[in-house]
Chain A
Amino acid sequence: MAEQQIIIAGFGGQGVLSMGQILSYAGLLEGKNVSWLPSYGPEMRGGTANCNVIISEELVGSPIVKEADAAIIMNLPSLEKFEKFVVSGGNLLINSSLISEKTSRRDVKAYKIPANDIANEIGNAKVANMVILGAYVELTKIVSPKSIIQSLEKVLGSSKRNLIQINEEALKRGAESVKCLV
């Protein structure tokens, strides 16, 4: 891996920006160069949110992702908006719990991950983002799952330490959901 450029998109409140931060932090923990660029603007809960993440062995040039090696798509409007940015042969991870439509792209590797359903099975709908992140990390091996957990501890802080376990479980289940496909 010389460089991975990722777009993560969905509704505000789905943990789209946190997912990007956790991934970036994990990259940093592994000594890589990282950038995290959020969309910002007049949005409310339920509006759209997205971020660009770059994890690289080299210095990061432009932090703006126009040719994504992967896109993690949490809702339908994001699929329509961002599927075109994935490079040919790139990974497109689709949250199939909320998106029944198929991608119009035939030249990318599309993975359907029922992130919300798996999260509900575990017992906390809020960890849907970690489910799909687990799948992404399993597919790309961009960082180790251990680094993700470590960065979770940093991002969640000591007051939410009790949530580490369920997040860990979510990451594992997400990884399992794509293991048979790889």
Chain B
Amino acid sequence: MARDLMKGNEAIGAAAIKAGCRYFFGYPITPQSELPEYMSRELPKVGGVFLQAESEVAAINMVYGAAGAGARVMTSSSSPGISLKMEGISYIAGAELPCLIVNIVRGGPGLGGIQPAQSDYFQATKGGGHGDYRLIVLAPNSIQEMCDLVMDGFDIADQYRNPVMILGDGILGQMMEAVELKKPKKRELPPKDWATTGIKDKYGKKRLISSLFIQPEDLEKHNLKLQMKYEKIKKNETKFESVYADDADIVLTAYGTTSRIVSNAIKALKKEGIKAGMIRPITLWPFPYEAYEKAADSAKAFLTVEMSLGQMIEDVKLGVNGKKPVHFYGRTGGMLPDQTEIVEKVKKILGGEI
């Protein structure tokens, strides 16, 4: 397929259908409504099912059911809607079911606003729902990367039997860029021999999908098994991009749209002879801590830039592990980080003013 100009929200839908997703359950909310709109138009054409549920809670439980039956399934929403889905997400993680959840983040807390934000970082990476579970959180910074990660995301979900979240923001949802739908790297996917399709399993037992383990011994065992899986995911799937970070005096960190504003700031700093680099996490969970261990030996300081007020910085500090100071700059509520302000902040840090 040639490169085409696509809006982020629609590109997610196109990539999902190309990846074999045939079930979408959702509920409209700005700034992601073009995605369910696209799916309502395009899924029936390929024999798929689009269903606008009565609420986000219903939608995520429909995802739970379809995933349990072995279908490639997704849902999408924006911040307040994702909060509503959190109970279902915890159940899906507990029952070890693969699915894709898209969050095109808007400003919070509460009903908040409808402009872009990144203030759902904690919710996405540190829980959100109850229990010791992990979401695999992918954070694209362009429409092309969003397509790539959606397609790979379905495979990752299947490979580990774990829900995967695409964490975008209002800008990524609304903007248009050139995209080409490319097949992701091939993964060996295990057969879905656990799916409740009416067939008994290989020992002749009925298949059961549940997150209920009433005996504490059993529940602990289940949790330990989940942890082993999470360790494997950390080892195999951690992904980041390093931009001039090896010989930089200051290493900035940003993900998603913010990383593009930061890359402009780095260019501007370079023109002034200031060596700035960036570590851009592509997986927010698992977080690329080891990238910071290395950079902490060479860089003088770190600066985390977010469309939130200090969430990812906690992970950056864990990675830097006290070796160097970690500073913060962020805007929130739908306001965007400003390139000039980032440049000024870097100069102040390197000048020893802060």
Contacts of A42 in B (CB 8 A): 114
Q: Which of A28, A38, A62, A64 contacts B178 (CB 8 A)?
A: A28
Contacts of B30 in A (CB 8 A): 40
Are B338 and A66 in contact, with the CB atoms below 8 A? yes
Q: Which of A24, A33, A37, A60 contacts B171 (CB 8 A)?
A: A37
A157 sits at the interface (CB 8 A)? no
Are B260 and A61 in contact, with the CB atoms below 8 A? yes
Are A34 and B339 in contact, with the CB atoms below 8 A? no
Contacts of B115 in A (CB 8 A): 41
* Interface residues in A1-59 (C-beta closer than 8 Å to B): 21, 24-25, 28, 33-38, 40-42
A63 sits at the interface (CB 8 A)? yes
Minimal beta-carbon separation of A25 from chain B (angstroms): 5
Are B5 and A62 in contact, with the CB atoms below 8 A? no
Minimal beta-carbon separation of A88 from chain B (angstroms): 16
* Interface residues in B30-47 (C-beta closer than 8 Å to A): 30-31
Give chain B's interface residue range (CB within 8 Å of chain A).
20 to 34
Contacts of A41 in B (CB 8 A): 114-115
Number of interface residues of A (CB under 8 A): 19
Q: Which of B31, B174, B260 contacts A62 (CB 8 A)?
A: B260
Distance of A34 Cα from B176 Cα, bound (Å):
8
Contacts of B177 in A (CB 8 A): 34-36, 60, 63
Contacts of B339 in A (CB 8 A): 62, 66
* Interface residues in B244-299 (C-beta closer than 8 Å to A): 257, 260-261, 263-264, 267
B68 sits at the interface (CB 8 A)? no
* Interface residues in B190-223 (C-beta closer than 8 Å to A): none
Are B176 and A40 in contact, with the CB atoms below 8 A? no
Q: Which of A25, A33, A61, A63 contacts B175 (CB 8 A)?
A: A63
Chain A residue nearest to B34 in the complex (CB): A40
* Interface residues in B46-78 (C-beta closer than 8 Å to A): none
Are B176 and A21 in contact, with the CB atoms below 8 A? yes
B225 sits at the interface (CB 8 A)? no
Distance of A38 Cα from B336 Cα, bound (Å):
14
Minimal beta-carbon separation of B177 from chain A (angstroms): 5
Are A24 and B263 in contact, with the CB atoms below 8 A? no
Contacts of B264 in A (CB 8 A): 61-62
Minimal beta-carbon separation of A137 from chain B (angstroms): 18
Q: Taking A25-B5, A36-B175, A61-B263 as given, write out 8 further A-B residue pairs in contact, using a Cβ cutoff of 8 Å, ordered by the A residue number.
A: A21-B5, A24-B176, A35-B176, A37-B171, A42-B114, A60-B177, A62-B339, A64-B171
**Can you offer 13 A-B residue contacts whose CB atoms are under 8 A?**
A21-B176, A34-B178, A35-B175, A37-B175, A38-B174, A40-B114, A40-B174, A41-B114, A62-B260, A62-B261, A63-B171, A63-B175, A64-B171
